[in-house]
Amino acid sequence: MQNKILYNSKEAAKPKTMDGWLSADGHFWPNKDDPKFAEHHARWGGCTHKICECGNEHEKHYTICTACRNKKAKERYGAMPFQEYNGEPVCIFQSDIYFFSEEDIEDYARDNEIDFAALELVVCEPNYMRCFEIDDMYADELPEDQYVSDVAPDIAAKAEELNELILKEKPILSWRPGKHRTEYRG
């Protein structure tokens, strides 16, 4: 038989002091196994900003400040191989701003009062339509070691015809930033 213990009795609970870190957002991190781990997580949870290696303050969600991020981005852009601009689609480095004609580039530069040389342009590469892998599309529904051609040979044949047409036509669905920087001189 179990002893009866009342809620308010000394036997129900005793005060204990815990060693650890309390973050500004209210989470307690005990020093249990690794005090440095506890301190780091409490400080990270409670802070909103950090100091960059250059000495500037920045939001904690970034590893470095805006100035250092911009500097590294310029270095990455400058390290890209150069390709002469030949009228192909281009975009501004690390943005979602695309240009599909020289007029688009000129309008953007004029509207934003930017010199052409200041536009960090990247030559775009096409995103082509992919072929259909019909067996992969229905893999969850097909029994093991069975293919669409086994259960629906006419449909599988039409899928192959469609894939042949896709490979022949190579339709471009959209564009993405490529690996070469370029310059529009106007």
Q: List Cα–Cα distances, 88 to 53, 97, 128, 142, in angstroms.
A: 40, 14, 16, 44
Task: Indicate if the pLDDT at residue 16 is higher than 80.
Answer: no
The residues, any chain, with a CB within 8 Å of residue 111's CB and separated by 6 or more, are none
Rounded to whole angstroms, how far apart are CA atoms 171 and 151? 30
- Most confident stretch, 7-11, 91-95, 115-119: 91-95
What mean pLDDT do residues 113-127 have? 96
Task: Indicate if the pLDDT at residue 15 is higher than 80.
Answer: no
Mean pLDDT of the residues in the chain: 93
Domain ranges in the chain are 81-154+165-186
What mean pLDDT do residues 58-67 have? 95
**For position 70, what pLDDT does the model report?**
95
DSSP state, residue 95 = S
Scanning the structure block, which residue is given the tokens 């082509």?
128
